[in-house]
């Protein structure tokens, strides 16, 4: 999958996608580059590359732009832990890795942090660990139903039964007898 990469073009692509440059974007950019190197990855047109992010910060945008991982495609998932950690999977080779951001050396201003993240090699920024989450299955398409209360089409896994009615989560919560 991997091939020669132009890091400047990838940075510009990530920055254009994100809308500005910042330290957080640099973290995701470096994580994506490192994952490409370690797992022989390139842009995923389908679900060959999977990323599970433990945060929803700026760096995720770089991963989307560079590796083609997206929520809609089903190959970008969130395991929210508030950590600058990303698990990457190469479905073709079966290899995976978890990259965890190392602490910065001391206090830094926002500009200093940005320069630090830009200047470091990915191997200096991340601790490489074994991916602890099993590779997720391919994205599924769920049946949908009309909510018997609001009439809005809702995926089957978000429908709740209340008697003989199929209700979306919003309408189901409104029917809770214990709500005042």
What pLDDT score was predicted for residue 2?
A: 43
| Tens digits of pLDDT across the chain (180 residues) | 545 679 999 999 999 999 999 999 999 999 999 999 999 999 999 999 999 999 999 999 999 999 999 999 999 999 999 999 999 999 999 999 999 999 999 999 999 999 999 999 999 999 999 999 999 899 888 899 999 999 999 999 999 999 999 999 999 876 655 554
pTM across the whole model: 0.85
Classify domain 7-129 by CATH number.
3.30.1330.130
Q: Is 179 exposed, middle or buried (0-12, 13-18, 19+ CB in 10 A)?
A: exposed
Q: How far apart are CA 11 and CA 65, in angstroms?
A: 9
The residue ranges of every structural domain in the chain are 7-129, 144-174
What DSSP designation does 161 have? E
What pLDDT score was predicted for residue 59?
A: 98
Q: For residue 12, what are its two tokens? A: 């510009």
What pLDDT score was predicted for residue 131?
A: 97
Q: State the angle between helix axes of 110-119 and 23-39 in degrees (0 to 180), rounded to the nearest 10.
A: 20
What pLDDT score was predicted for residue 177?
A: 57
Q: From edge to edge, which strands make up the β-sheet containing 76-78?
A: 76-78, 49-53, 85-90, 95-101, 126-129
Classified as helix, coil or strand, 74 is coil
Please report which helix (H) or strand (E) contains residue 97, including its range: strand 95-101
Q: Cβ contacts of residue 37 below 8 Å, gap of 6+? A: 2, 122
Q: For residue 114, what are its two tokens? A: 């940005």
Is residue 125 a contact partner of residue 27, using CB atoms and an 8 Å limit? yes
Q: For residue 133, what are its two tokens? A: 């989450």
What pLDDT score was predicted for residue 142?
A: 86
Q: For residue 81, what are its two tokens? A: 């832990």
Residue among 80, 49, 54, 82 nearest 66 (CA) = 49
């Amino acid at each position: 999958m991997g091939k020669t990469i132009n890091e400047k073009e990838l940075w510009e692509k990530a920055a254009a996608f994100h809308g500005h440059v910042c330290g957080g974007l640099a973290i995701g950019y470096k994580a994506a580059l490192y994952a490409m190197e370690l797992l022989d990855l390139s842009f995923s047109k389908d679900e060959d590359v999977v990323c599970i992010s433990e945060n929803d910060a700026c760096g995720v945008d770089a991963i989307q732009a560079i590796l083609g991982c997206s929520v809609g495609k089903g190959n970008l998932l969130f395991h929210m832990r508030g950590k600058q950690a990303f698990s990457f999977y190469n479905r073709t080779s079966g290899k995976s890795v978890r990259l965890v951001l190392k602490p910065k050396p001391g206090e830094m201003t926002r500009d200093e942090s940005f320069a630090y993240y830009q200047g470091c090699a990915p191997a200096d920024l991340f601790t490489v660990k074994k991916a602890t989450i099993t590779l997720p299955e391919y994205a599924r398409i769920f049946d949908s139903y009309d909510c018997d209360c609001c009439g809005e089409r809702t995926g089957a896994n978000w429908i709740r039964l209340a008697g003989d009615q199929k209700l979306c989560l919003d309408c189901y919560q409104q029917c809770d007898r214990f709500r005042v």
